[in-house]
Amino acid sequence: MKYDYLIVGAGLYGAVFACEAKKTGKRVLVIDRRKHIAGNVYTEEMEGINVHKYGAHIFHTNNKEVWQYVNQFAEFNRFTNSPVANYRGELYSLPFNMYTFNKMWGVVTPEEAAEKIEEQRRAAGISEPKNLEEQAISLVGTDIYEKLIKGYTEKQWGRPCRELPAFIIKRLPVRLTFDNNYFNALYQGIPQGGYTKMVSNMLEGIEVRLGMDYLEEKEELDKLADRVVYTGAIDAYFGYKLGVLEYRSVRFETEILDKPNFQGNAAVNYTDAETPWTRIIEHKWFEFGTQPKTVISREYSSEWKAGDEPYYPVNDAKNMKLYEEYKRLSASEEKVIFGGRLGEYRYYDMDAVIASALERCKYELGK
Ligand code: UDP
């Protein structure tokens, strides 16, 4: 065997694993189907602006070990995510906080806001939320659900809120303070110079082959290494033999505009049902850009089909049941480690992917 590890996928999971394995003296080969490294955190420069080609990625974590880990590979700026919701031209602050409640209801104090939410929750008669709709109403009431959640969520997931798992909406904080920080995280920022540079630093000194599809050449590639770290979709690995796991895909329409400022913020969410895109990202604001032009991306969500890029696993009961079956199958693939958002079919954030890769390294590499 020429390598100890063949790592399939040069995204965050693969890059962390490769970097740690190399440090312990292992021989590592990283391959990726795409023509570039960094998976979906890939950034590319346009007009001097780092464009998040596969959607906005804002690094945030409560995990000090992960924060210190990524800081070895990049310097992070002080960007704080504060998206704005645009509902038919009305602008609201996100996540749901006193600025949002004041704009929605005219309430001024936290008590008044809490009362309003409680009143709407009681009127809806929800005690134990069983789906995203009920969870949302019980967290923020019906007005906010109708204007800021329902339209956005149904565009994003292509399913009624009543058929979606409650945990998705729990990603968003609800606060009775005037705080527009989207995340409850101790550490937050954007790697200066872009994510591609950060991942490239992780992969320094490691052999990487791009444009190489593992599943197409599996037999040959497997001969190269003792162990395989597979970060692609788990159902694809098994040729979809138990059925197809559902994902959401995203299409981006990116434009260069000949003006310095389009929307005054990195992210504006279009929360009505009619606007076909879910959000517009203005990339320069991730790095406080002063360029004369600006680059924006409209995001359109769609159901994943063969040939598309999978982005979000649809972790509802039906898919989770199928995933568990694939997971059982994967246990008999003794040579292979399945990891990352696609390999584990989990709506992982970047910090959680890194934590999970580091954990796996400790176990696997005995460090
Ligand atoms: N969400 C919403 N309105 C918004 C933003 C988010 O209803 O303006 C809901 C939606 O269901 C979404 C979920 O919150 O899928 C999680 O949002 P997050 O911003 O964490 O999604 P991501 O950035 O991962 O796409």
| Mutation pick for ligand 1 pocket among 164, 169, 265, 270 (CB with most ligand atoms within 8 Å) | 169
Residue 367: band (very low, low, confident or very high) from pLDDT cuts 50, 70, 90: low
Proportion of the chain above pLDDT 90, given as a percent: 99
- Ligand 1 nearest-atom number relative to CA 149: 7
Residue 205 pLDDT > 80: yes
156 lines ligand 1 (CB under 6 A): yes
Q: What is the mean pLDDT of residues 94-116?
A: 98
Residue 260 pLDDT > 90: yes
Q: What is the mean pLDDT of residues 351-355?
A: 98
Residue 365 pLDDT > 80: yes
Please name the residue whose Cα sits nearest to atom 12 of ligand 1.
153
Q: What is the pLDDT of residue 86?
A: 98
Q: What is the pLDDT of residue 366?
A: 86
**Cα–Cα distance between 60 and 285 in angstroms, integer?**
17
Q: What is the mean pLDDT of residues 188-214?
A: 98
181: left (phi over 0), alpha (psi -120 to 50) or beta: beta
**Residues identified as active-site:** 171, 175, 248, 279, 299, 347, 349
54 lines ligand 1 (CB under 6 A): no
Q: What is the mean pLDDT of residues 321-345?
A: 98
Q: What is the mean pLDDT of residues 269-282?
A: 98
Residue 78 pLDDT > 70: yes
Residue 84 pLDDT > 80: yes
Q: Cα(first)–Cα(last) distance of the chain, in Å?
A: 23
pTM to 2 decimal places = 0.97
Q: What is the mean pLDDT of residues 196-217?
A: 98
Burial class from Cβ neighbours inside 10 Å (0-12, 13-18, 19+) for residue 123 reads exposed
Residue 310 pLDDT > 80: yes
